[in-house]
């Protein structure tokens, strides 16, 4: 809590608050003063909150503050069970409530300023649904939503431009530098023109120089196009080579891809994957689980002392002696059937070890292949995003070819080894089948002999005992290994503890003296801090007075500068007007008629005479139109009547013609009937 208050006091003493507080004065503030301080901080975030709370009702103050805190997404502390207790603490100016709010606000003032600014435009107005039934209100609300979306887009673009690194000062400097260069170039061109004007046929030479420059630019563009086309041709050739190689590989694969070879390849892959899933991976997973269990067990057990270690060593010695006795008993028994079986067991264990090693190599090769495919995909994506085409440079292509050759040789060796192992596996599988057949015949004979002798099931019991003894020996071996590992780990931990204690002893001694020194320095720091705060308070008051004086002088200086520039510009305008008036008087008084014609008065008089003449002509034309208006209107009505008369005649003619054609048809039909 003290750290929180220190942070709040430090922030309130900085710009723009300048409260000149310390921990004692801040803690002794009354509730009204504390709420006013909170309101000042909120006013810094949102300028609309700049209100004296003494001129406002408490309910309005709390409502306004809670609304702003909700908009800023402030969450009350967890020790307040409900919102009503938090509001009550805010009304009474409770120190825990206000201190927590101040600490939260002062930690993120720039972020909250931005949020308050955006909330003015992005917090949508709540309009009841019955009001939205009105078409005008609905259209206005849709326009409002479109404006909000537009503001979001413009704000995002503005933030991008702010974070893009462009500075207006740098752009202005660049523009001013370009303008200076432009002026220098213009002056240089003027000087060169003056020099060239004295040379005969300078106009023709300038035209030739401009044509030469145009041709050079065209030559540069053509060379650039040529280089681009060469690059594109090189890329196309590389792509063609890759595609040809892929086509060749695909054809070779298609030539070798008959159904039998595909089925054989798929069966091999299925066998390998089934072995990986059913045997290798479960063993590795089980081993990892056991290791984790051992480590958890070791971590959960308390630290072992010398007596515990001695007890473990005694147990290990007893287990070793039991193992040696069992081995001696087994060697003394020396059954010939067991000797044959041990030979086959050794061969089977060798095959299993080879199988496991090859499976590990296969897994490593698959991981390397997957990593190479990921790297290839990543590089192709990078090349496509950079140039739009898959580009492989010369050096990279050479490296890839060297790597491909080495991988090809390794692949051939591994393939040869796999073929040898497959052949050996086939031989061993056949041997195993033969041995199984022999074992079955021997077992049948043994069972018949046991049945004859009256001891049926003896061999099965013996095999079960051997299997149990083998499992027990494996468990004992694992226990011995785990005990060895545990003892070694305990020794290492004890040695590490002793080393750490020996290393930490001088550091602890130094730490004691440093703690005493730290206490002395902290007391001295508190004294110096009190002196510093008293000194800064006096300096702050002097600085505020000087800042006010400087501000007043700057305002006075700016006013004088504005007045000076205004008077200077007005004097220049008046001088220009005087100069124009003198030129006008000179032209008007001049005896030369050409000069007098250039005068503004003469130009305006000429325009006035032209406009008066034009007006006179238009008035005469208007008079003629008025005089002939009645006759023209009468003539227009006559023409309209004539038009109607002609239309009527046309309709009558069409009607008479249609009736005549109908009568003619009737007469022809009557004649036909008479003929019939």
Q: In sequence order, which residues have a C-beta less than 8 Å from that of residue 313 and are 6 or more positions away? A: 487
Stretch 256-267: mean pLDDT: 72
Q: What is the pLDDT of residues 14-53, one digit of tens each?
A: 877 777 878 778 778 788 888 888 888 888 888 887 878 7
Percent above pLDDT 90 for the chain: 5
CB neighbours of residue 45 within 10 Å: 21
The answer to whether residues 26 and 5 touch, using CB atoms and an 8 Å cutoff, is yes
Residue 212 to residue 442: CA distance in whole angstroms: 107
Per-residue model confidence as pLDDT tens digits over 280-302: 778 888 888 888 887 777 777 66
- pLDDT (tens digit, 9 = 90+) per residue, 414-455? 888 887 888 778 777 778 888 888 778 877 777 777 677 666
Question: What is residue 676's predicted lDDT score, i.e. its pLDDT?
Answer: 47
Q: Which residue has the tokens 């004992």?
A: 476
Q: How many CA atoms lie within 13 A of 195 on its CB side?
A: 6
Average pLDDT, rounded, for the chain: 78
What pLDDT sits at residue 362? 78
* pLDDT (tens digit per residue) in 368-412: 888 887 887 777 777 666 544 445 555 566 677 677 777 777 887
Lowest mean pLDDT among 112-121, 219-228, 334-343, 665-674: 334-343
- More confident: 153 or 397: 153
- 3-state helix, strand, coil split of the chain in percent (to 5) is 90, 0, 10
Whole-number pLDDT of residue 389: 46
Q: How far is CA 64 from the centre of its chain?
A: 38
Going by pLDDT thresholds of 50, 70 and 90, the confidence category of residue 647 is: very high
Q: Phi-psi category of 18—alpha, beta or left, where left has phi over 0 and alpha has psi -120 to 50?
A: left
Q: What is the pLDDT of residue 388?
A: 45
Instruction: Choose between 456 and 601: higher pLDDT.
Output: 601
CA distances from 125 to 119, 142, 145, 401 (A): 11, 12, 10, 68
Q: DSSP labels for 321-385?
A: HHHHHHHHHHHHH--HHHHHHHHHHHHHHHHHHHHHHHHHHHHHHHHHHHHHHHHHHHHHHHHHH
65, 90 contact by CB (below 8 A): yes
Answer whether residue 178 shows pLDDT above 80: yes
Q: What is the pLDDT of residue 392?
A: 54
Distances (CA, A) of 670 to 410, 547, 658, 661, 666: 114, 126, 19, 14, 6
């Amino acid at each position: 809590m003290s750290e929180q208050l220190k942070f709040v006091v430090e922030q309130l003493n900085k710009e723009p608050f300048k409260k000149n507080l310390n921990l004692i004065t801040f803690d002794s503030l009354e509730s009204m003063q504390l709420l006013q301080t909170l309101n000042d901080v909120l006013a810094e975030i949102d300028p609309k909150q700049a209100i004296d709370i003494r001129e406002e009702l408490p309910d309005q103050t709390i409502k306004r503050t809670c609304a702003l805190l909700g908009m800023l997404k402030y969450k009350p502390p967890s020790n307040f069970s409900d919102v009503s207790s938090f509001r009550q603490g805010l009304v009474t100016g409770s120190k825990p409530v206000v201190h927590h709010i101040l600490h939260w606000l002062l930690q993120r003032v720039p972020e909250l300023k931005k949020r308050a600014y955006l909330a003015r435009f992005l917090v949508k107005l709540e309009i009841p649904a019955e009001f939205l039934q009105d078409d005008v209100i609905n259209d206005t609300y849709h326009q409002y939503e479109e404006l909000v979306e537009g503001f979001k887009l413009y704000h995002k673009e503005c933030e991008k431009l702010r974070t893009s690194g462009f500075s207006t000062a740098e752009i202005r400097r660049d523009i001013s530098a370009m303008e200076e260069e432009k002026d220098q170039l213009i002056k240089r061109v003027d000087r060169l023109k003056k020099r060239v004007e004295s040379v005969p046929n300078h106009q023709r030479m300038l035209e030739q120089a401009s044509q030469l420059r145009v041709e050079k630019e065209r030559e540069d563009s053509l060379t650039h196009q040529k280089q681009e086309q060469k690059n594109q041709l090189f890329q196309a050739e590389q792509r063609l080579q890759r595609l040809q190689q892929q086509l060749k590989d695909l054809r070779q694969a298609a030539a070798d891809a008959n159904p039998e070879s595909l089925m054989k390849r798929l069966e091999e892959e299925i066998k390998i994957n089934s072995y990986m899933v059913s045997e290798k991976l479960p063993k590795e997973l089980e081993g990892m689980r056991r290791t984790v269990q051992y480590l958890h067990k070791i971590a959960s057990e308390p630290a072992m002392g010398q007596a515990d270690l001695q007890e473990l060593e005694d147990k290990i010695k007893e287990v070793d002696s039991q193992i040696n006795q069992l081995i001696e008993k087994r060697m003394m028994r020396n059954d010939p059937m067991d000797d044959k079986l041990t030979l086959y067991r050794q061969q089977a264990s060798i095959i299993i070890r080879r199988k496991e090693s090859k499976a590990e190599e296969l897994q490593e090769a698959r991981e390397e292949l997957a990593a190479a495919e990921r790297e290839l995909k990543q590089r192709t994506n990078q090349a496509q995003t950079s140039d739009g085409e898959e580009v492989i440079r010369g050096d990279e292509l050479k490296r890839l070819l060297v790597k491909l050759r080495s991988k090809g040789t390794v692949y051939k060796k591994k393939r040869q080894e796999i073929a040898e192992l497959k052949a050996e596996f086939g031989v061993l599988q056949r041997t195993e089948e033969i041995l199984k057949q022999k074992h079955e015949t021997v077992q049948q004979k043994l069972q018949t002999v046991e049945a004859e002798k009256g001891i049926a099931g003896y061999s099965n019991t013996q095999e079960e005992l051997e299997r149990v003894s083998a499992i027990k020996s494996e468990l004992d071996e694992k226990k011995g290994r785990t005990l060895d590992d545990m003892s070694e780990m305990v020794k290492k931990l004890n040695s590490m503890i002793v080393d750490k204690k020996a290393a930490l002893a001088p550091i602890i001694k130094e730490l004691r003296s440093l703690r005493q020194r730290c206490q002395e320095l902290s007391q001295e720091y508190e004294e110096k801090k009190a002196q510093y705060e008293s000194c800064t308070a006096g300096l702050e008051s002097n600085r505020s007075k000087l800042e006010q004086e400087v501000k007043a002088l700057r305002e006075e200086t700016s006013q004088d500068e504005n007045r000076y520039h205004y008077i200077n510009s007005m004097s220049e305008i008046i001088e220009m007007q005087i100069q124009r008036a003198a030129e006008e008087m000179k032209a008007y008084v001049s005896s030369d008629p050409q000069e007098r014609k250039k005068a503004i008065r003469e130009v305006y008089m000429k325009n006035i005479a032209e406009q008066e003449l034009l007006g006179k002509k238009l008035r005469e034309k208007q008079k003629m139109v008025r005089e002939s208006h009645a006759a023209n209107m009468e003539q227009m009505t006559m023409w309209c009547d004539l038009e109607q008369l002609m239309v009527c005649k046309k309709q009558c003619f069409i009607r008479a013609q249609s009736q005549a054609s109908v009568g003619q048809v009737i007469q022809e039909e009557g004649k036909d009937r008479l003929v019939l």
